[in-house]
Structure 1
Amino acid sequence: MKSNARYVLGGVFALLGAGCLIPDDEEACVLGESNGEPALVVEASPAPLDPADRIVSQEVREYLESRRQQRGIVATTVTKWGHVYDWIDINSQVPGGDVGTPPPIDARSDSGGGDCAPMAVRSELEEDPDAMGPPGTVPVLWVDPDLIHAPGTIADFLSKYGREGELPSYWMDAPPPVALDGHQHRYARANLVTENYGGEGYFNVWMPFVRVPNEQSTAEVAISRLHHPTLPHETIEAGWHVLGGKYGNFTTRFFIYYTTTGYAETGNGKGGYNMDHAGWVQVSRTMTPGTMLIPTSVIGGEQVEMFIRVELHQGKWWVRVKDEFVGYYPASLFAQDGLGTKATAVHFYGETNDDPTIPEMTESDMGSGKFPTIEGWRRQAAYIRNLQYQFHPDGDRTKFFTTDDQVKATRPQCYDVLANFSFDPNDPWQSQIYFGGPGRNPNCQ
């Protein structure tokens, strides 16, 4: 049985239409009950990568150390899990200290039902207030280069997939699945191509097994500008992932990512993860890109969720987690006819990528590692629920709904997706997708 035991611890997709998909004989209040195992809490420091995997090029090392020196660090703290945070003056991130004002915190879409509501995830800084920095500062995760797996160039390190210039297949115009069988990235997603100004949903959070440091398992929302006649694709992405090579261990992390170049180039003003480059402006003192998320969901047991919203407001793309805006990307990073003014598509999906040097199909999990099935799915598979998108620049939002040809799994024998765009007024979860799988199995080689 696969296990992400790296801690020191105490078929074909179907689009399912209207209606709530909880079986009739299932108890009414099961959405967040444990009915078994409680949520998984990291009790001690996560184990680092194996020494043989801790490889970093001199180019990447020098880049990271130079980037750190440029930050103007006010203080450095270490959490009880051993993760290091540098604290910088919040006003030092923008010229003249003119940090943007976030949108008002309005009511979220339905949270899932009173006592049945799943548990809300927390960042490690929320769990360890002794690791907080001085007032007026915000945190930036620092990972010692000696702990990571980054043997390539800076462009490789900053890229989403560990190799510069790869355009993920789900942006393409729906090639037949057979054409994607040899592709290194697998998706289980729902797309909506429409003018928009953001999107949101509730993600249940897992700690999936990931085979090697340069593979990852991801769940995210992406806001994008696609298929412009002259501009490259532009995206803003936010979610959770496990990517051991980047962080030095296989914990579940909150991440952000952007590209202005269709993933072809990375760096300041071009794109990359978290705060590894210029672009992102951090505002929150407790939730920051790269932070460890705790606890995580348990199969058949307690579910842990993360509400994420991406929203264009006053010339800034804000990212909200739970009831706090974490920070923003200035819309000026993007083309005026691109994400500088609006988006043209919203995507919700799970993703894995496969190490191309290992010949067989990866065994890395997507989501919980379980395929989405109707029986018990709300405590088995990964999901994103109460999907909405912002259709008006003033902030008006509506339920996410898309066509069956836009709910796809690139290789459903390995990772699959189900959707329920519910019109049942008694279903508090409304628009939902369920996704995931174990990777290599008897039907997926």
Structure 2
Amino acid sequence: MAGQKILSQDDIQKLLNIEGTSDDDMDYQSIEEESSSEGDNESAASEVSDYDSENFSDTEATAESERPISFLSHLRSNHTSYDVLWSQLYGPPIFRATMGLKRFKYLLAFIRFDDKATRSVRRQKDKFAPIREVWERLNTNFKKHYLPGSNITVDEQLIPYRGKCPFKQYMPSKPDKYGMKVWWACDSETFYPLNSLPYLGKEGGERALPGLGRRVVQQLTEPYQKTNRNVTCDNYFTDMELAQNLLSNGLTLVGTVRKNKGFIPVTFQANKSREVGSSLFGFTANSTLVSYVPKMRRSVVLLSTMHHSNTVMEDVNTKPEIINHYNSTKGGVDSLDQLVHAYMCKRRTNRWPFAFFMNGLDVSGVAACVVWMNTHPNWNADKHYSRRLFIQSVSESLVQVHIERRSNLGRVVSGEDTEGKEREYRSLLQSLWDEFWASGEGVEKEQD
């Protein structure tokens, strides 16, 4: 971003005011030339309903379509119709300057993330096949460009979606209720996404094997084994077997425990004889169990392989040290999901792979912002909306190439005075027209 020339709103408006072929006509004409091998417009439209295009480049479609989409999150316009966004009266000029509306809709209709020829074979073994390759690339890049701190949080995210999907979930405790569940491992301090695993439901019609939460944590934290980091998770994942497994692989665990676990003593359960604010501790050779009473007849049980003492923070809130540590590190994934919802490019769609793709763009924006802020700590440090400025800067950098390319299509030269070029162009046309009539050819053709 540094050192790049970003076109101002005035420059963009000047480009749009230049007379000539309209944006939509010019772009749609170029699309028809690119897709001429597919036949006429009717055959191309029929390919849209067939779920894919045989000859359209998925990579090009993904790269081009993500650039206008990235602006939706910054402007918080993900519920505004495309016709309004491209409107000359109501829409921001940056959309029309990037590409025509017809071309953008055409790209959205054809965008796919895998090879259609082999999809049916791959889907027999993998429900996630339509977007598996793209999602794995995201995971690889997340782990490649960031080294997490001492605490990692494992939790779930619900991607909002109400269309048809073989593994759609209903979670009443989530704001969006319906959607597709993804488990994330995040940095507890910066909320950077480290690794993810989509929940695909039952495989082959068989019931899921017990210990799903345990396997999820082991798989998500596998790249960070033998690093002495701590993993924080809730009672869906935590059990003694997981704690011992992580400990043998160089990781500690802190998490809440469900009351029905067999290793919890009866005295650790809630009863009316225990005082509010009291704590009970249990110790083994390498783990600690604590039961805390937040209110009458209720208790919270936590398991930790990181703490080995009965320390209670009397000077803070009279809670055990294990609970304070859990409270300070449990919100990594929830905070990531909150950041995604603050600036998201999600649009209504009937294709669940595209919903995953848009969520990947949003999560990637959070990850890129974390990396940028860590490498440039003084960048807009005095502004509380620095993340919005970052998304705006990235979006402008992505569309700048398209704006400059369109400005060179027989209209203006990028980086020069647009009004001056227009005057020169009109002057040249006028001189050619005068020479045409002065030569007498125009008179002869008029008489004929």
Q: Answer with 1 or 2: which has the greater Rg.
A: 2
- Structure having the higher helix fraction is 2
Same fold (TM over 0.5): no
Q: Which structure has more strand as a fraction of its residues?
A: 1
Q: TM-score, normalised by structure 1?
A: 0.23
TM-score by length of 2: 0.23
